[in-house]
Structure 1
């Protein structure tokens, strides 16, 4: 399944919708899209069918860069079955995960 990326703006925050596989074969496409997405960012991962550690590393790097720049960042729609790597590494307890866009927007204020 190819990777499909799209974005929209909500309350001054770029919401990036990710559909498909996030792995070594799509990492560069994902990285390029994120680089042009904007400073404040919500990643909607509800359409992700599989995520590997390289993709998770990119997400963590984006999150850390956002924190260092005092930008807003959140993840929504993360499914355990398709993103097990977040739980295996313990990052699910550290990353800003929210169930819905409304939850994330409220938390980011």
Structure 2
């Protein structure tokens, strides 16, 4: 199992955060803190690149939705990109596949924010 991590880069007007590892009840505290720190940077547009997520359960989904709510409350826009198929199915089944918005690629997400 890969250690949970969030690596950030700036691309155009977006802060891109590549999330890696499993998002579950064990990594919940790690990701919750990393997302809080990420949002605290004050960036207006945040793209979570989930291509490195190998597993996500309900606790992981809750952390993602919590990050979206926190960003929204602070006036930022947080979107998901490169969502692995199993997680995409969970988002669709729970009816939260449009909140936050989901993009096929980071480039697609960046284009919405003016790259």
SS of 2:97 mapped into structure 1: helix
Matched, 1:61 2:66: yes
Q: 46, 53, 63: which is aligned to 1:48?
A: 53
Q: Which has the higher contact order (CA 8 A, sep 6+)?
A: 2
CA RMSD after TM alignment? 1.7
SS of 1:94 mapped into structure 2: coil
SS of 1:70 mapped into structure 2: coil
Counterparts of residues 9-28 of structure 1 (less than 5 Å) = 9-28=10-29
1:88 maps to 93
Structure 1 unpaired stretches of 5+: none
Structure 2 length-normalised TM: 0.82
Inter-partner Cα distance in structure 2 for 1:33 and 1:58: 10
Q: What is the CA distance between 1:71 and its match in structure 2?
A: 1.1
1:72 maps to 77
Structure 2 unpaired stretches of 5+: none
Deviates more, 1:14-23 or 1:2-11: 2-11
Structure 1 length-normalised TM: 0.86
Give the aligned length.
109
